Amino acid sequence: PCAMISTGDGSRLEILPQDEAHELPHEGKVAHIALATDDVDACVERVAAAGYKVTIEPKDVALGDLPARIAFVDGAGGEIVEFFCVK
């Protein structure tokens, strides 16, 4: 099961068991970190400009019944970093 933990400022930390974390391969000890943002595209642009690989370009999806914009990048420790914004 997924745990969504509020950080108190409107952001949430999403925690997934490793076997359910993501279908993409990962090498780090933390498989997947999801970060809420107001601007997924801007976050991805900054990360890409810093030299990190964008694995899934920003796109609109449904998270359950919530419309959202998401993107995925490779983190410095081999983890998958997701940026998301609930619309």
The Cα 66–Cα 59 span in angstroms is 14
Q: Report the pLDDT value the prediction gives residue 41, as an integer from 0 to 100.
A: 95
Write out pLDDT tens, residues 4-44: 666 667 776 666 655 555 565 555 567 788 888 889 999 99
- Does this model's pTM top 0.75? no
> Which residues lie below 8 Å from residue 51, measured CB to CB, with a gap of 6+?
none
Q: Report the pLDDT value the prediction gives residue 32, as an integer from 0 to 100.
A: 82
Length of the chain: 87
Are the CB atoms for 69 and 84 separated by under 8 Å?
A: yes
The Cα 17–Cα 32 span in angstroms is 9
Q: 45 or 19: whose pLDDT is higher?
A: 45
Q: Which two tokens stand for residue 25?
A: 């391969």
